[in-house]
């Protein structure tokens, strides 16, 4: 499993949703947003996101690679834990 989380949501911020998800899941979370503010990326990673992508044609074309890398890291982490 992997979670793609848009940072700008109508009912809550991505940071709030990220916090809620981390209470019950260790699945990789990739935050995706149209906002290029570096602080949002830093805060998202500190709060438990595994990766961060700004929406742009170039970055979105990299999404497949980013998803694959994060899934591989997650699988290795779980294998080490014996899960």
pLDDT, tens digit only, all 83 positions of the chain? 899 999 888 898 888 999 999 999 999 999 998 888 889 999 999 999 999 999 998 888 999 999 999 999 999 988 887 76
Distance CA 30, CA 62 (A): 12
The pTM (predicted TM-score) of the whole model is: 0.87
Q: Decide: 59 and 35 in contact? Cβ < 8 Å.
A: no
């Amino acid at each position: 499993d992997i979670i793609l989380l848009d940072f700008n949501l109508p009912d809550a911020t991505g940071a709030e949703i990220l916090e809620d998800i981390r209470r019950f899941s260790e699945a990789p979370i990739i935050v995706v947003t149209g906002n290029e503010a570096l602080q949002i990326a830093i805060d998202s990673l500190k709060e438990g996101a595994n990766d961060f992508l700004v929406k742009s044609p170039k970055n979105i074309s990299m999404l497949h690679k980013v998803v694959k890398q994060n899934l591989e890291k997650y699988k290795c982490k779980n294998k080490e834990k014996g899960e």
